[in-house]
């Protein structure tokens, strides 16, 4: 893959991920919904219980409200032509549901659609 | 992608013996034919098939069988714990049920092997053209996403099982683990597969596959398969 092509794809992936981060920071699922594929899935344990489905995520984000101090870091961005894997570490989650100073490890898989990169799954580990 | 190649115990013909029947495979493992057939059906014992007009014949490479058996024994000796414990707590001392002084690296190996065993079931199903063989590797709510010849396949994992059944055996697939990463309760596996054949795959297809896994009750289950089909 030519360097310029890689940078373009990388920026496309990060742009989509930024919608997720912005939605989380402002506590507004409406900001992150466009980043997700209609068939996207969501998996992870929250307080020992398995949470599934993007609906759970979106409702959680809205209920949690703003988390102005989140510190996101991209650990890895791997692009395999039409699919991508992003490892995101977020520290400093706060809000009505999460409590304060929470750390989250996320794995996002993305699919390159004609409309751009879309998250097809978010899996998370909540560091209790 | 930064890859850390992990050998699958791939057939190195000079180092490995070819076992030519259920009888020979059973003898190699010192078990009954019934047991090794059950292991193939339920646990992904890597048995290959030669396709013939009337009936397929089975064979296996002894080094693949041995590698599978090592993983099986390790998993039985150290079943993955039901609840996971964070790195920080882990370093404080032995976990309940864990022997004092056992290197914590063993815990990593147990998780790593449990994950490869789950993917082994997927590979066994793909090789045999049998969706039912791979079904136990997947979470009930698992999904699939990717493009195949420009057509997007996304939705329930049932699509995959149907595709596998319809495609039929792909006895020459060559899978390689390009990456296995574990983050406590979630994991990601990048598998590169070459030589995929069958009614739908055509001949010698190459597929890059990314699996997301979730640890549930001490067991690793695939929650998603995303793939890129390399058009030749």
| B230 contact residues in A (CB cutoff 8 A) | 81
For A3-127, give the CATH class. Answer: alpha beta
- Inspect the interface and report whether the beta carbons of A43 and B147 lie closer than 8 Å: no
Q: Where are the beta strands (DSSP E) in chain B?
A: 18-19, 48-50, 57-61, 138-148, 151-156, 174-183, 186-198, 202-216, 219-230
| Mean pLDDT of the residues in chain A | 93
- Minimum distance, in Å, between the CA of residue A95 and any CA atom of chain B: 23
pLDDT digits (tens, 9 = 90+) for A77-120: 999 999 999 999 999 999 999 889 899 999 999 999 999 999 99
* Length in residues, chain B: 232
Give the number of C-alpha atoms closer than 13 A to the C-alpha of residue A113, restricted to the C-beta side: 20
Q: Angle of helix B105-128 relative to helix B62-77, nearest 10 degrees?
A: 130
- Inspect the interface and report whether the beta carbons of B1 and A78 lie closer than 8 Å: yes
pLDDT digits (tens, 9 = 90+) for B119-169: 999 999 999 999 999 999 999 999 999 988 788 888 999 999 999 999 999
Of B106, B116, B84, residue with least CA distance to B7: B116
- In whole angstroms, give the CA distance from residue B5 to residue A104: 28
CB of B188 closer than 8 Å to CB of B206: no
Looking at residue A31, its pLDDT comes to 98
- In whole angstroms, give the CA distance from residue B135 to residue B49: 20
Which burial class, exposed, middle or buried, applies to B12 when counting CB atoms under 10 A from its CB (0-12, 13-18, 19+)? exposed
Nearest CA in chain A to B221: A43
Pairing between β-strand B219-230 and β-strand B138-148 as defined by DSSP bridges: parallel
Q: Does A5 touch chain B (CB under 8 A)?
A: no
**pLDDT higher than 90, residue A128:** no
Most confident of B40-49, B57-66, B90-99, B156-165: B156-165
Domain assignment present for B172? yes
- Inspect the interface and report whether the beta carbons of B226 and A128 lie closer than 8 Å: no
- Inspect the interface and report whether the beta carbons of B224 and A113 lie closer than 8 Å: no
For the four alpha carbons of B183, A56, B161 and A114, in that order, the dihedral sign comes to negative
The gap between the terminal CA atoms of chain A, to the nearest Å, is: 40
Looking at residue B75, its pLDDT comes to 62
Q: Which of A44, A78, A120 sits opposite B154 (nearest CB)?
A: A120
- In whole angstroms, give the CA distance from residue B19 to residue B2: 35
Looking at residue B104, its pLDDT comes to 54
Partners of B193 in the β-ladder: B175, B207
Of B2, B1, B4, residue with least CA distance to B177: B4
The structure tokens listed for A94 are 């706060």
Q: In sequence order, what DSSP letters do the residues of B54-118 get, joined into one string? A: S--EEEEEHHHHHHHHHHHHHHHHSPPPSS---HHHHTTSPPTTPPTT--THHHHHHHHHHHHHH
- Inspect the interface and report whether the beta carbons of A125 and B223 lie closer than 8 Å: no
Domain assignment present for B13? no
Residue numbers of B between 189 and 218 with CB closer than 8 Å to A = 190, 208, 210, 212, 214, 216
**pLDDT higher than 80, residue B78:** no
- In whole angstroms, give the CA distance from residue A64 to residue A94: 8
pTM for this structure?
0.72
The domain of B23 spans 18-230
CB of A121 closer than 8 Å to CB of B154: no
| A48 contact residues in B (CB cutoff 8 A) | 83
pLDDT digits (tens, 9 = 90+) for B99-115: 444 445 578 889 999 99
Number of compact structural domains in chain B: 1
Q: Angle of helix B22-29 relative to helix B62-77, nearest 10 degrees?
A: 50
- Inspect the interface and report whether the beta carbons of A120 and B183 lie closer than 8 Å: no
Q: Where are the domains of chain A?
A: 3-127
| Mean pLDDT of the residues in chain B | 81
At B79, the pLDDT band (50, 70, 90 cuts) reads very low
The structure tokens listed for B125 are 């199903």
Q: Does A55 touch chain B (CB under 8 A)?
A: no
Domain assignment present for B2? no
| B216 contact residues in A (CB cutoff 8 A) | 50
Q: What is the mean pLDDT of residues B166-173?
A: 94
Q: What CATH number does the domain containing B158 carry?
A: 3.10.450.50
Domain assignment present for B10? no
């Amino acid at each position: 893959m030519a360097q310029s092509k890689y940078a373009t794809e990388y920026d496309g992936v990060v742009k989509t991920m930024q919608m997720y981060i912005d939605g989380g920071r402002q506590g507004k699922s409406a900001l992150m919904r466009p980043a997700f594929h209609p068939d996207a899935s969501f998996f992870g344990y929250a307080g020992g219980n398995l949470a599934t489905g993007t609906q759970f995520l979106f409702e959680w984000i809205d209920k949690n409200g703003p988390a102005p101090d989140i510190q996101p870091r991209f650990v890895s961005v791997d692009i395999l032509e039409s699919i991508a894997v992003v490892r995101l570490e977020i520290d400093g989650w706060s809000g009505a549901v999460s409590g304060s100073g929470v750390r989250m490890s996320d794995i996002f898989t993305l699919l390159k659609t004609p409309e751009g990169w879309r998250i097809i799954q978010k899996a998370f580990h909540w560091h209790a | 992608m930064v890859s850390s190649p992990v050998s699958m115990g791939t057939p190195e013909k000079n180092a490995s013996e070819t076992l030519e029947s259920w009888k020979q495979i059973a003898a190699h493992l010192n078990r009954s034919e019934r047991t090794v057939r059950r292991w193939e059906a339920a646990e992904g014992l890597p048995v290959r098939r030669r396709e013939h007009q009337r009936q397929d014949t089975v064979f296996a490479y002894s080094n693949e069988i041995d590698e599978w058996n090592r993983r099986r024994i390790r998993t039985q000796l150290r079943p993955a714990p039901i609840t996971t414990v964070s790195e920080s707590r882990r370093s404080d001392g032995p976990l309940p049920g864990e022997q004092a002084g056992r290197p914590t690296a063993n815990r990593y190996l147990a998780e790593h092997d449990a994950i490869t065993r789950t993917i082994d079931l997927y590979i066994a199903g793909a090789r045999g053209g049998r969706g039912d063989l791979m079904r136990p590797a997947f979470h009930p709510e698992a999904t699939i996403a990717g493009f195949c010849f420009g057509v997007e396949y996304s939705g329930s994992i049932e699509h995959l099982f149907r595709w596998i059944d319809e495609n039929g055996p792909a006895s020459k697939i060559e899978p390689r683990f390009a990456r296995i990463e574990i983050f406590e309760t979630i994991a990601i596996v990048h598998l590169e597969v070459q030589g995929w054949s069958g009614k739908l795959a055509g001949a010698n297809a190459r597929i890059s596959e990314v699996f997301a896994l979730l640890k549930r009750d001490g067991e690793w289950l695939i929650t998603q398969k995303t793939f890129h089909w390399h058009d030749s």
